[in-house]
Amino acid sequence: MSVVEVSGLSRDYGAGERVVHALSAVSFTAEKGELVAVRGRSGAGKTTLLNLIGGLDRPTAGSIAVAGRAVTGADESDLLELRRDTIGFVFQSFGLIPILSAAENVSIPMRLAKREPAARDERVSVLLELVGLGGQANQRPGELSGGQQQRVALARALANDPDLLIADEPTGQLDSDTGRAIMDLLRAVVDARGMTALVATHDPNMIDRADRVLTLRDGRLVESL
Ligand SMILES: Nc1ncnc2c1ncn2[C@@H]1O[C@H](COP(=O)(O)OP(=O)(O)OP(=O)(O)O)[C@@H](O)[C@H]1O
């Protein structure tokens, strides 16, 4: 079984003469332990594809399964559960809660999953150490650099030990050295945990570290290397 199974996936926005085919008949699979880069120009459909796979948006046609669970056709409560337990998300803009410390941000998914507090605190420490922020647990996002904030976001995405990590331009707001360090960390985490990762990126460093590259053009998969 592949961790990600996408078949005939299409997403139209709008209707009639103004319809935009953001994604057209995209099919691919991603296996356990694979880091797959999704590249393409601005507007090619990268974000649309990742949002559909993550259950943040619904397709016009086609099917998606993640870790053997159907995403398409799932009702809202199933999707909530899938996003909480099976998928970790990292976004370009980090998406941390400004008034919470790094540790509190990382603990959010575990609170939502009702993990027991002692186990939760222990795991928060392990995750912050893993991303090299053991000493910054009590700092708020505003007191951290961009690279450090993205590390917190990565730790948060790993909190519930997801089968799939979805990252949309994770290095988009970082300078190239910091971006490279984040990519190395992502690669190491994928290798250590045997997780699958889908990463939308323009970043050549990122693409170098991928096992496979999917190229989108005008919503179609044109190349799969
Ligand atoms: N909510 C929406 N309503 C209408 N059109 C949309 C919507 N979201 C995306 N689109 C259109 O769908 C197409 C694909 O957009 P998408 O954001 O997936 O591209 P992208 O490859 O992620 O681009 P970028 O690299 O700039 O983030 C674009 O033409 C975009 O304008």
Kindly give the confidence (pLDDT) of every residue in the chain, 225 residues in length, as a single tens digit, with 9 standing for 90 and above. 899 999 999 999 988 889 999 999 999 999 999 999 999 999 999 999 999 999 999 999 999 999 999 999 889 999 988 988 899 999 888 899 999 999 999 999 999 888 899 999 999 999 999 889 999 999 999 999 999 999 999 999 999 899 999 999 998 888 888 888 888 888 999 999 899 999 999 888 788 889 999 999 999 999 766
Structure tokens at 80: 């909530």
d(CA 130, CA 127): 5
Q: Tell me if 52 CB under 6 Å of ligand 1.
A: no
Residue position matching structure tokens 């090619």: 44
The hierarchical CATH code for the domain 2-222 is 3.40.50.300
pLDDT number for residue 93: 87
Provide the pLDDT for residue 225.
63
In whole angstroms, how large is the CA radius of gyration of the chain? 17
Q: Apex CA 178: angle with CA 174 and CA 183, to 5°?
A: 95
Dist CA 133 CA 103 (whole Å): 10
At position 145, the amino acid (one-letter code) is S
Closest-CA residue to 168 (of 60, 52, 65): 52
Ligand 1 centroid from CA 189, angstroms: 29
Give the pLDDT confidence score for residue 224 in this predicted structure: 66
pLDDT on residue 140: 96
What distance in angstroms lies between residue 12's CA and the mean position of ligand 1's atoms? 10
Query: In angstroms, what is the span from residue 140 Cα to ligand 1's centroid?
Result: 32
Mapped onto helix, strand or coil, the DSSP state of residue 110 is: helix
Asked if residue 53 has its Cβ within 6 Å of ligand 1, the reply is: no
Asked whether the beta carbons of 79 and 156 are under 8 A apart, the reply is no
215: Cβ–Cβ under 8 A, 6 or more apart, which residues? 39, 40, 221, 222, 223, 224, 225
Give the integer Cα–Cα distance in Å for 11 and 36.
21
- Quote the CA–CA distance of 35 and 105 in Å, as a whole number: 25
Predicted pLDDT at 175: 86
Please give the number of the atom of ligand 1 that sits closest to the Cα of 14. Answer: 4
Ligand 1 contact, 18 CB (< 6 A): no
DSSP structural state of residue 171 = T
Q: What ranges do the domains of the chain cover?
A: 2-222
